[in-house]
Structures are given as structure tokens and as C-alpha cells.
Amino acid sequence: MENKVLIIIGDATETVDTMYPYFRLIEGGYKPVLAAPEKREYQMVMHQVKPGWTITREWEGYSMHADIAFKDIKPEEYVGIFFSGGRAPEYIRDDEDLIRITQYFFDKNAPIASVCHGVEIPARAGRVKGRKMATVPKCQFDLEVCGGTFVNEACVVDGNLVSGRTFWDHGHYIGPWMDLLDKARDAAG
């Protein structure tokens, strides 16, 4: 194992939700691997509920190139996985290979992190039942209808699963997730 960690993305993945953990993983001695439906360039977005608005406003963000397509992933080669937010999870969550990969990390009890709409992927994969998670409040239904428990906090740790609500929470939940990655890396030798 090369200390590789998957970051799940797609078109309209949230920019900060993706780039913050990407660079933190590098700082922590990990190799972040951007994974998506296809190996190509993906357009990210920035999301925020603008003051006075009742819905999320979206701006074009940076783009990043996926290192690997879901179908080519051998999950046993990775220490952990991160589910980025934005609108992408809604569109990629039905991908059979992504479901397979997601189930692998949950079933193996490997370090998992999720933020914002990222919850839609493990929910679709049938792995949130009985789990406590933070997510953006508008995804509370997605979590609860699949048997999970919504917790409106900046960092929720439920065993191997660490989650935050939005990019404002990155400073709270990424550190605990990286601690889990370090323990898994050290245990693997």
C-alpha cells in the first residue's frame, strides 16, 4: 500500500470540499487519488447560501483531473476514502462501481470521511443505517430515509466514519479523520 487515499469527485463537486482534504492529505504524507466516473478533467463549483437567499448559489470553481475511473479502482490498494460535497454525489451515486467501492470501505471498517452532499453516496450504497453523521441540513432526509441519524455538528465521529456539514467544518473533522488514517497506516506496517 502506498498510503493512497481516494477522493470521490464528479462534475459540480464543491471546490473547497475537494481541495482542502486534497492538500491536507499531501501534508500528512498521503497520496490523494481523485476518483470519478471517468479519467478526465472535472469542473468543480463553489456553493454557498447567499445572505437573503433561501437556496444555494453556485459559482464556477477550479477544475481538477481525475486520476482514476471508478471501474478501475481496486479498493484494497487504498487506506481510506473521502466523499466530497457539491451536486456531484446526486449524479454519481448510482454508479455500480462507486457503490462497490463505498461498500468495501464501510465493510472493512476503513477510515471514511464525508461532507455536505457526500452523504448521498454511502446512503445510496446502503451503509448509513444505524450510523450518526453530519451533513448539510438539506441532506438530512437523504440520511434519515436510509436509516442514519442526522447530527447538526461540525464534527461527528461514529467509529471509522467522520463527517462534517459544509466546507466551514473542514477544520473540525479533517483532523480526526486523518488521525484514523494514521492509525490504519501504522497498523498496516
User: Catalytic residue numbers?
Assistant: 116-117
Give the separation between CA 95 and CA 148, rounded to whole angstroms: 21
Give the 3-state secondary structure of residue 98.
helix
Q: Which residues does residue 128 pair with via DSSP β-bridges, in sequence order? A: none
Q: What amino acid occupies position 143?
A: L
Q: Which residue, 1, 164, 12, is CA-closest to 82?
A: 164
Q: What amino acid occupies position 186?
A: D
Residues near 161 by beta carbon (within 8 Å), at least 6 away in sequence: 106, 112, 113, 114, 131, 133
E-state strands within 13-170: 31-36, 41-49, 56-65, 68-69, 78-83, 112-115, 132-133, 149-150, 156-158, 161-164
